[in-house]
Copies of this chain bind each other. A is one copy, B any other.
Amino acid sequence: METNKYTAGVLQYIPFFYVIWSDDLLSYSEVSVVKKAIEEDKTLEKEDYTYLLKYLDKKTPPPYAVLKHWKKVISNSGIKLVESDIYPLATFSQKMICHHYAACPFNSHLKDIEINLGIQPNHYKHLFEIEIVKEATSNFYNPAEIDTILKGDQATVIDAFRAFLKDPNFKWDIKRDKEAFRLHVLKQVQLLAKEGYGAMSYDTPYGGTNNMVGYAAIFENMMYVDGSMAIKFGVQFGLFGGSIQKLGTKKHHDAYLLETGKTNILGCFAMTETGHGSNVRGVKTTATYHKETDSIIIHTPGENDNKEYIGNALHSTMASVFAQLIVDGKNHGVHAILVKIRDEKHNLMPGVTIKDNGYKLGLNGVDNGKIWFHQVRVPRENLLNKYGDISSDGTYHSEIENPNKRFFTMLGTLVGGRICVARAGLGGAKKSLAIAVKHALKRRQFNDSIKIQEDLLMDYPSHQLRLTPAIASCYVYDVALTHIMKEYSDPKIIDKRKIETQVAGLKSMITWFANDTIQECREACGGKGYLLENQIADLKGDVDIFTTFEGDNHVLLQLAAKGVLSDFKSEFNSAGFTAVLKLLGERIGDKFSIVNATYTNNVDKDHLFSSKFHKHAFDYRTRRLTYTVAMRIRDYVKKGVPSYQAFLKVQTHLLALGKAYSVELAYNTYVDFTNSIEDKKNRLLFKKLGTLYALHELRKDASWYLEQGYITGTKSKAMRQRVERLSTELRPHIGVLVDGFGIPAHCMEAPIAN
């Protein structure tokens, strides 16, 4: 019953129907979108309705003959499809009727279908035998607007910093010799200090603006220049300066902080020891108070008890040394003491030995070294005494009675550094994505041997799937990190323990994400990505260690999990445990019951795209893992297994919990943020990125959700398809999405990105 001549009413829908049926776009909710549009279309005649509605039933798809006829009609029209049109398919349809009929108004119902089904050029450009006017990337969104949303209230600081990076001293170059590289980086750090960036997070009297949020933001931007520069900067101002600022008192601030911010004093942060790695509480270096001389003696007792991997060790004149403080024969636990390690002529002080750590996989512009102390004497005043002090009468006292609590309070000063490391990792991921996307928007590879031109790499579905979820994740993590830094630096929030747990988790997830992403970008750029000149290689080498330093990710994730388990109580013991367990049991009870068959099998687009679903799924996972790991630990403890060993036995379970918790945290923060975006167009884009992140993360753990019966196989498949589809839908905007990171042009020097 097909005619060769369609009415104008039907004709305009033909391209849509062809795309929908050829690309298997239809799900039940989508049928209703199209149906509704047609039913509301008052321009249609009765016969038009009949014809169109006939082909909207999934159970009776149009026969192949009909499809082929539709295709012929479309191809014969000779009309070009312009990808950069706001509604390319609706506009194309309109042009088709104009071609055949006198009246051809733009039909907004078509536009609605195009928007609601999310039909993108990738869905049809291989279907039609028509000329397609392509652009590598659409200009529908404005990268400057996106960048502004991400920058938030730090826009002025960030813009000024990015402009400052134009200075030729920040121009990237290949540096193979570590000595020359280190001197270059030192010069860069001094330049940053001169401009006031070093002291930024300190109080005004010490040259700063007390802006930790801005500090973290510029720290990320430093990665666009060089990882070594960022890390040496972080060691000097964040770790060394930060230890004085946060563990010291006014006398230390006055004596050292202003000069540290100016790099007039170069310092290092001597915490980690060769033999003890992540176990900071177990460091062996001693700081013994000597009453007779009113001084503290710093000493490295054993062969493997030296300070290890200390950044800035070769350039520094001072060190903030973490050691067991022994007063009157009693060990009061780990404290930090300022130790002069070099004199004015840069010679080592008596008793101090420093050795170069040598070449590393990356960050060769950072001078890491090992430090040994042999009975090195410093004045009592050098004890950074905010949380524990020795009085002039030689007695130890601290406002924090519990040595455990005191230790963790001091370690809390590392939390800011962990946020910065995650930000730096994120910066590395962003830059490598920007390079890979720009390359993929130029690079052509293979074709169908009909076309003259090979296809753009970015047009391959597998390429879209490799890069797009990672881009979405960058947006989510950016927002999450900005938020957590605001909370961390908010003086109104006194108790930071919960934030510490959260940072431990986020740092792990984001630095792993950064490494995976950079690796994917390297491979996505093929051999070109392997050349140093294209800058991904350096990022890969530099960011690699981010998973280890400032807290090994495995250790931190367990810390996060224990935080969750103990309901954010920093101490965990079997006495408090049962109470926590009871609480968890109560909370989790009602959550389990929600999961019913309609829910587990719901593959509706609206449902799959709703943040309500994502939040529920993330929440369910965190709670369920918390509950089950707690039960396992309880059972072990009941059987007489010591608590330490019980935790060891559930270690992989704890890691899963730490991950689940962190993903949930990042997503929830992001959703709150997107709701606050005023401009609707950008808000919807941000929401779409959040949806892609959530579905991608849920899919990564699909086996767990399937095991729990939280989703069915059908739903799991539908989620996978949605991840692929969203990646394709975002294809036209992918160039804009990486431009939205705001990486300055003067930091994008990679030849393949230009």
- A-to-B contact residues, CB < 8 Å: 21-24, 64, 67-68, 71, 126-127, 174, 176-178, 272, 275-279, 282, 308-309, 357-362, 443-450, 454-455, 460-462, 465, 515, 519, 522-523, 526-527, 529-533, 537, 540-541, 544-545, 547-549, 552-554, 635-636, 638-642, 644-645, 648-649, 651-652, 655, 699, 702-703, 706-709, 713-714, 716-717, 724
Contacts and interface: CB of A to CB of B under 8 A. Distances in A.
Contact of A641 (B22, B308, B461, B640): B22
Nearest to A62: B639
A234 to B, nearest CB: 16
- Which of A309, A529, A639, A651 is packed against the most chain B CB atoms within 10 Å? A639
A660 B638 CA distance: 44
A360 B282 CA distance: 40
Contacts of A126: 641-642, 645, 648-649
10 contacts: A64-B640, A126-B642, A176-B176, A277-B527, A358-B533, A360-B531, A461-B648, A462-B655, A523-B553, A529-B548
Contact of A709 (B533, B651, B652, B713): B713
A531 B363 CA distance: 11
Contacts of A640: 22, 64, 67-68, 71, 127
A319 to B, nearest CB: 18
Contacts of A21: 639
Contacts of A362: 530
A450 B651 CA distance: 19
A429 to B, nearest CB: 16
A462 B67 contact: no
B706 A651 contact: no
A548 B523 contact: yes
A716 B135 CA distance: 46
B530 A545 contact: yes
A449 B644 contact: yes
A527 B548 contact: yes
Contacts of A515: 519
Nearest to A449: B644
A528 to B, nearest CB: 9
A582 B449 CA distance: 28
A360 B535 CA distance: 10
Contacts of A541: 361, 537, 541
A536 to B, nearest CB: 8
Contacts of A655: 462
B526 A277 contact: yes
Contacts of A548: 523, 526-527, 529-530
Contacts of A651: 460-462
A607 to B, nearest CB: 18
A174 B359 contact: yes
A308 B703 contact: no
Contact of A446 (B282, B519, B707): B282
- Which of A279, A308, A465, A548 is packed against the most chain B CB atoms within 10 Å? A548
Nearest to A700: B703
A14 B647 CA distance: 25
Contacts of A716: 703, 706-707
A523 B523 CA distance: 20
Contacts of A67: 639-640
A278 B526 contact: yes
B278 A537 contact: no
A713 B707 contact: yes
B713 A531 contact: no
A60 to B, nearest CB: 16
A527 B636 CA distance: 33
Contacts of A532: 358-361
A714 to B, nearest CB: 8
B64 A638 contact: yes
B530 A360 contact: yes
A282 B22 CA distance: 30
B361 A540 contact: yes
Contacts of A275: 444
Contacts of A709: 713
A644 to B, nearest CB: 4
B545 A527 contact: yes
B176 A177 contact: yes
A628 B589 CA distance: 40
A458 B443 CA distance: 45
A358 B175 CA distance: 12
Given A527-B309, A707-B713, A22 B545 contact: no
Given A446-B279, A461-B649, A526-B278, A22 B639 contact: yes
A314 to B, nearest CB: 15
Contacts of A360: 530-532, 537
B708 A713 contact: yes
A680 to B, nearest CB: 32
A447 B647 CA distance: 12
Given A71-B640, A174-B359, 20 more contacts: A23-B649, A64-B639, A126-B645, A127-B641, A127-B645, A176-B176, A272-B527, A277-B445, A282-B454, A357-B531, A358-B532, A359-B533, A360-B531, A361-B540, A362-B530, A448-B645, A461-B652, A462-B554, A703-B706, A707-B714
A305 to B, nearest CB: 13
Given A454-B282, A548-B526, A448 B642 contact: yes
Nearest to A72: B640
A601 to B, nearest CB: 12
- Which of A277, A357, A448, A454 is packed against the most chain B CB atoms within 10 Å? A277
A318 to B, nearest CB: 22
Nearest to A68: B640
A318 B23 CA distance: 51
Contacts of A450: 642, 644
Contacts of A530: 360-362, 544-545, 548
A178 B176 CA distance: 9
Contacts of A639: 21-22, 64, 67-68
A68 B68 CA distance: 77
A678 B272 CA distance: 50
Given A358-B174, A523-B547, A707-B706, A462 B531 contact: no
A407 to B, nearest CB: 13
A209 to B, nearest CB: 33
A455 B703 CA distance: 32
- Which of A362, A445, A636 is packed against the most chain B CB atoms within 10 Å? A445
A706 B449 CA distance: 40
A78 B642 CA distance: 19
